[in-house]
Structure 1
Amino acid sequence: MTVEAEKADQAAETPLTFFGKEVVVERKRWGITREQLASQAACGYSLVAKIEQGTRTPSLEFARACDQLFPGSEGRFERLWPLALRFAFPPWFRRYVELEWKASVVRMFHPQLMPGLVQTEGYARAVLRTGRPSNLESLVTGRIERQRILDREENPARLWVILNEAALTNQVGSTEIMRAQLAHLLTLAETPRHRVQVVPDEGQHHGWASPFGILSFDDDSDVVHVDGFPRGYLLAETEDVLKASDAYDLLVALALSPDKSAALINSIQKERYS
């Protein structure tokens, strides 16, 4: 191999491909088949193969299965997992995911869709499929894995979601997908540390068309994320954060109370998706 080719090969290495290569090394070292690893990880043979090739993002359960199956791992694959997970996201979104992972409170508003942190796997796949990505399953894995911040053992994040009523009535995927999605939203709404509110459709638009969110931290200043096309962006300037907080406060005032919002979600689920 020439020096140039070796440099190109090294440049192509990512934490995702490194994770896959380490799985191969340990599996072969201990004489473990892909079928055995698939059984331990409760997944298919083909998924193991793709993870080893660095073309699919592993779940946390997969990383833990490796640690359980490979002697002497001592949690190594679980420690590698967050680095591999970053490559489930486009480069411009990775910094946001890192900040989201550390947040103690996440406030989100979306006018048309469920935000990623509340999406079921079926809903996420239906949304992401519309962009016809070549790495659909890795994108779905990344989106669902982000939700671990809500039920992690230490300091689970508090979530406050405000949705336009349109987000409940815009059908994404099948009726079954929407029924499951609204059921999941109701579960979050009934979880004491979370808040879900709906801005009712009363024939007059409130003026906010862009999805946005605010991340709060125990030991740092708030950060704003604005969703958009072709990419979202982060805002950390004090003036921008204050404007976003003020906008969110106004949306809270316009929205139904958490109890009335839950009743509306339940009603729409029964009337439209039963």
Structure 2
Amino acid sequence: MRSPASSSPLKAVLWDMDGTIVDTEPYWIAAERALVEAHGGTWSHEQAMQLVGQSLTFSAGLLQQAGVELEIRQIIDTLTAAVISSIKQQVPWRPGARELLEDLHVAGVRCALVTMSEGPLARQVVDSLPRPYFEVLVTGDTVSQGKPHPEAYLTAVERLQEADPDLAIQHCVALEDSAPGVAAAVASGVATVAIPHIVPLPQDNRYTVWESLAGRSLSDLDALLRARPASAAPAGAASAVGTARD
């Protein structure tokens, strides 16, 4: 554990789940295709790519447009159940994710899960890990606005602050794989690392791009925060934390 006197600016890491910790996108795509085809439609790779990183409500709306004659809630429940079933058979871990989680745990760096998947699926993944790495879980069914809106990230910081009022936006790093997720993290003011997976992400000075989490450690995240200009976080980000949820 790091001592309280540690000069590291890093206090918390905010993790996306799908595509960052676990490679569930093939499970989601298979579930989407099966559902659309069951309603007589077709589901292309291009259509599936539009849903990567999006909120489930948004995704369900596009599935309705593709011919699924179910209510939004029914679509979400059907897809989630299918993905949970697949995960129970095999958890598709992303390279380096579990190793980095362990490194942070040993060092005493707090972790929050920030995912647009709903609670049952998030808990299935979290329960598959060897330790209780995540102190906070923010899921798609606990926020009013999904990614790319920053509410989920601001909510995670707010909840982390409950145990450490001195924790602020500038003490956090977000790990994301998708364009909506990266947009949400950047908009919250949190230093953001993009680890592209299914969909390529362009280089951008608002975030850092890593090819993989494999071989990455606490020292990499710490160095990223140390190199970040103090003015990098939006001026309103910190004050917005307290009002992220109604």
TM bin, normalised by shorter chain, reads 0.3 to 0.5
Structure with greater helix percent = 1
**TM-score, normalising length from structure 2?**
0.33
**TM-score, normalising length from structure 1?**
0.31
Q: 1 or 2 for the larger relative contact order (CA 8 Å, sep ≥6)?
A: 2
Rg comparison, structure with higher value: 1
